[in-house]
Structure 1
Amino acid sequence: MKLRPLHDRVVIRRSDKETTTKSGLILSASASETPNRGVVVAVGTGRVLDNGEVRAMAVKVGDEVVFGPYSGSNTVKDGDEEFLVMAENEILAVVEK
C-alpha cells in the first residue's frame, strides 16, 4: 500500500515494542509499553497558512521521531504492518543520529 498524506500530515511506522529491559529482563506482553517512537514513511506537502501560503514540513522521510503516548490515534493496517497517520504538530522531536 502506498499512502500520500495530505497537507501537514505524516505517516509513521511505529518502532517495535521492547521485549527486554536494559538489564536483560524479559517483559511479558502486558508489561511492555507501546513505543512512542517511529520512522517517518511519508510526508504531506505542508501546512496551508491563513494567507494561502504553504509552510514546508520540518520532518522528512526516514527521520526517527518521538511522539506523545496519545498521538496518532488514526491507524492504517497493511497486512501485518500498522502505520500511524498524525499531524506534524503531534511530533515532539526528531532523534538525531
Structure 2
Amino acid sequence: MAATASKKKGKVKLQPLGDKVVVSRDESEDVTAGGIVLPDSAKDKPSRGTIVAIGTGKLLDDGSRGELQVKVGDRVLFTSYAPEAIEIDDEEYLLMSEGDILAVIE
C-alpha cells in the first residue's frame, strides 16, 4: 500500500522506498502567545506535519514487507534532527524513516 506525493500539476511524483515517508511540514506560528510578531529568521521550524507519501514497508528477514504504522494524511510529530529536506517546485518536503516519527496526532 504505497502512496506517492504529487504536485497538483501532476508533473512531480515522489515515491519513497522501504520504510521511508514523505512529510509536508506544518507552517510555523507568526505570532507568539504574548502577541509578538516573529520575522522568518526567528521562527522555529515545527517538528510536526502531514504525511503525503509512504513507502512499501520495511524489508523483513524472511523477504516479506512489514506494514507501516502510519498512512497518508496522518498528522505526525517527528524528531527535529532526523528528516532530510527536499525542495520540489518551491515546496519543501521532508524525507524520513518511519522510526523517526514519534507520534500520530489525532
3-state secondary structure, aligned to 1:86: strand
The one-letter code matched in structure 1 to 2:77 is V
Could you tell me how far apart the structure 2 residues matched to 1:64 and 1:51 are? 31
Cα distance, 1:2 vs structure 2: 1.1
Query: In structure 1, how many angstroms separate the alpha carbons of the residues matched to 2:82 and 2:29?
Result: 19
Matched, 1:83 2:99: no
Distance 2:25 2:102 in 1: 14
Quote how far apart the aligned CAs of 1:47 are.
Answer: 0.6
Q: Counterpart amino acid of 1:51?
A: D
**What is the Cα-based RMSD across aligned positions, in Å?**
1.1
Secondary structure in structure 2 of the residue aligned to 1:89: helix
Percent of residue pairs identical: 46
Q: Which residue of 1 aligns with 2:20?
A: 9
Comparing 46-55 with 81-90, greater Cα deviation is found at: 46-55
* Residue in 2 that maps onto 1:64: 75
| Misfit runs of 4+, over 2 Å | 28-31
For 1:2 and 1:24, the matched residues in 2 are separated by: 39
**Matched residues in 1 for 2:14 and 2:40: separation?**
30
**Structure 1 portions without partners, runs of 5+:** none
> Which residue identity is paired with 2:95?
V
Name the aligned partner's letter for residue 38 of structure 2: L
* CA displacement, residues 14-59 of structure 1 (integer Å, 9 cap, x when unaligned): 1112111123221122321011011000001111111212110100
Provide the TM-score with structure 2 as the length reference. 0.83
Look up the equivalent residue of 1:20 and give its one-letter code.
V
